[in-house]
Amino acid sequence: MSKVNPYFAKEMKKLGGTEFNACFNCGTCTATCTLAEKDNAFPRKLIRYSILGLEDDIKSSIEPWLCYYCGDCSDSCPRQADPGNIVMAVRRFLITSYDWTRISGLLFRSLAAYIVAFSLLLLGIIGAYTADIFTKEEWVHYGHYFEMIAIGSVFLVILLPNIIRMWYFTVARKKVKFNIKVYFRELKTLFIHMFSQKRALECDDSKENRTWWLEHLLLVIGYLSLLFTTVFLNWFATGSIFIIVMGYIFSAMIFVVTFDFMMKKFRKKTQRSTTLHYSDWFFIIWLFLMGVSAFAVRLFIDLDLLQNNFWLYLFHLTVLVQWALIIVPFGKWTHFLYRSFAMYFSAILEAPENARK
């Protein structure tokens, strides 16, 4: 028996959801959505679950992660219930449900909590700098180690347990047969979708959607490559021209694409830009700041200007620390991970060997 949460509508509002009670269950959104499958009335079913407060059914749904927010369903809804935006709010609810620390829930429901968390990290860096604990060289050196340690520990302590919880809600609870061969075989689905996000192309074949997909792809490649270049190739300290140029290219890819995303969002040019939660803005702005500040720091190193303009490195480090400790483990960044795992779990559930009992 599915648990009913009578306060679910309130919960969804706090997470950026719109007035879904306007929905009269006509099914136009499902007919419009190109990602809806024959036997799955998505997103209508999800909106029904939300209206009824069927929290457990929502937690066990993989479908919200398969939506790319093209907005066609919202455009076609005769009741202006904005189903596309409801799916986005459901995803925030899912992120808060997977997160064992509950910090995501706090941050998604309260802008003030976000600002306090960012401010505390900023004050920590300002405090450590004014206390004169490290020399400037040591700041850059330890900044590099921070990146390595943060990536490893955030993944092991926060993200990995959350992925396991996601697996428990979406796969294990459905009591499908466990077949290790299927888990290994479908790893290809995980990596293909993680890097290509190719399902987004199935949304619609408009030029706008193809441009969005290409920009998204460049962003993923730029972000992962810059991460590799700074963490494993020590970009800020290397003398290799090849690595230096690669770092410039990857950081430029990030800030050029994110700048374009921001402009589109400001102009509200696409449905993807019309209803945005503050966590979406933090994600895109911090990604832009990371790319642009990393580019500028390396440029100042190459022009021998960093020693006299050390504020630039401290700015970059602050953005990096806020990104790594807030946005990656608890914010919008997690959608990159959960969406890829949703494709993986979905392939596992649909595998012939895993026929339901």
Residues binding ligand SF4 (CB under 6 A)? 23-29, 32-33, 35, 43-44, 47, 67-73, 77-79, 81, 83-84, 87, 203
Q: How far is the CB of 90 from ligand SF4 (least distance, A)?
A: 10
Beta carbons within 10 angstroms of residue 65's beta carbon: 23
- Enumerate residues 6+ apart whose C-beta is below 8 A from 334: 95, 104, 159, 162, 328
CA 355/CA 112 separation, integer angstroms: 46
Question: Which phi and psi (to 5°) does residue 200 adopt?
Answer: -60, -30
The residue (of 82 and 99) whose beta carbon lies closer to ligand SF4 is: 82
In terms of Cα–Cα distance, which of 122, 124, 88 is closest to 108?
Answer: 88
Residue 23: CB minimum distance to ligand SF4, A: 3
* Complex with ligand SF4: residue 44 or 59, whichever CB lies closer: 44
Closest CB 211 distance from ligand SF4, rounded Å: 16
Nearer to ligand SF4, 61 or 230 (CB): 61
* Shortest reach from residue 202's CB to ligand SF4, in Å: 9
Of residues 84 and 331, the one with the C-beta less far from ligand SF4: 84
Residue 79 vs 144, nearer CB to ligand SF4: 79
Q: Which is nearer to ligand SF4, 69 or 139 (CB)?
A: 69
Helices (H), the chain: 8-14, 28-32, 44-52, 55-59, 72-76, 83-98, 103-109, 111-130, 136-153, 160-170, 180-185, 187-196, 207-231, 241-267, 278-302, 311-322, 328-330, 334-350
CA–CA distance, 108 with 260 (Å, rounded to integer): 25
Minimum distance of ligand SF4 from residue 215's CB (angstroms): 18
Q: Give least dist CB 336 to ligand SF4, A.
A: 17
| Rounded CA separation 287/277 (Å) | 16
CB of 264 to ligand SF4, least distance (A): 16
* Three-class secondary structure of residue 4 per DSSP: strand
The residue among 70 and 257 lying less far from ligand SF4, judged by its C-beta, is: 70
Q: Which one-letter amino acid corresponds to residue 282?
A: F
DSSP string, 181-192: HHHHHTHHHHHH
Shortest separation between residue 84's beta carbon and ligand SF4, angstroms: 4
Q: Please identify, using beta-carbon distances, which residue of 18 and 354 lies nearer to ligand SF4.
A: 18
Cα–Cα distance for residue pair 61/94, rounded to 1 Å: 9
